[in-house]
Structure 1
Amino acid sequence: MTTTLLFIETRSADKRMVLCQQVERFYEKGQRVLVVTDSTLAAQHLDLMLWTFSQPSFIPHRVVAASLDTPLVEPVIVVPSPLVIHGYEVLVADSRVTLDFLQHFSTAVLFVLTDDPNQRQDSRLLWQGARDRGLALQHIPYSPGNSPRSS
């Protein structure tokens, strides 16, 4: 399986809203999505945002802190740290993840924060490492007032 990485440019203040839009986009396509955060608090915040960010849409989801023995029925899972849950083909990264972790998914969405030089540099290094491994890469530039909803 070849992993496709989508590097989406956004501002720090808009990141979580763009993240929710990306989760919604993949959910509407019928794909199962795993959202990885860096803490329980961040997972709880995203849980709340997924319930409230868009009035007309409903995204069934669940916060999961550890691997479970029973299959998950929810199409979207939010985890507080990198955790591979089989059956989820799309990763949306709210936090830093490794290339090894990314390669468990057919598609990975990563955010390039245009107003954070350190995070931008981390994104460049991840892009270079992914390119060296032969992963498919797509860059989605920042456009004010336009949420990225690439295909």
Structure 2
Amino acid sequence: MPRVQFYHNAENPLALACELAERAFAGGRKVALRVPDGTAARQLDQLLWSFHQLAFVPHVMAGTPLAPETPVIIGRADAPAEWPHHEILFNLADDVPPGIEQFRMLIEIIGQDEAQKGPARTRWKHYKNLDLPLQAFDAVRREAL
């Protein structure tokens, strides 16, 4: 079962996901990024190309032919797909991702909007009931809570 980290209070959850995915990729890790829908997937795709001038984060959408060979995969909660690797899953959707037991680490990124905080509390309780190791961080201050 995965370790779970919650990043609360993110000013821009997609930008934080890019930053953390870049760090994970630079460290040789493979990443799955789960977003709510196609609009968020397109935004994240564009942001991964442009958020940092010197960054190169190779990524593709889940289900494409290059997905098994690509270290960063973007998938949609509204169109579930099989993940080609199972190291780190970033969840930016409001529900518990299916198949979390396959991953080593699950990272939940929660924005400042109250509409995101309620579902995040529900997910925290769910993971706690599963006895998963939980850590919480303030995304703005970059410190553990």
- What TM-score range do you get, normalising by the shorter chain? 0.7 to 0.9
Equivalent residue in structure 2 for 1:78, among 66, 74, 80: 74
Q: 2:88 maps to which residue?
A: 90
Question: For 2:138 and 2:71, how far apart are their aligned partners in 1?
Answer: 28
SS at 1:72 equivalent = helix
Separation in 1 of the partners of 2:114 and 2:37? 22
Aligned AA (1:121): G
Check 1:149–1:43 CA distance in 2 against 1; reply closer, same or farther (3 A cut).
Answer: farther
Structure 1 position 121, deviation (Å)? 1.8
Q: Is residue 2:58 matched to residue 1:60?
A: yes
Alignment correspondent of 1:10: 9
Residue among 108, 133, 137 paired with 1:136: 133
Aligned length in residues = 142
Unaligned runs of 5+ in 1: none
4+ runs of 1 displaced by more than 6 Å? none
* Distance change >3 Å, CA 27–CA 97, structure 1 → 2: farther
User: Aligned to 1:103, what secondary structure does the other structure show?
Assistant: helix
Task: Name which of 38, 51, 57 aligns with 2:36.
Answer: 38
Please tell me the residue identity of whatever aligns with 2:73: I
Q: Distance in 1 between matches of 2:97 and 2:34?
A: 14
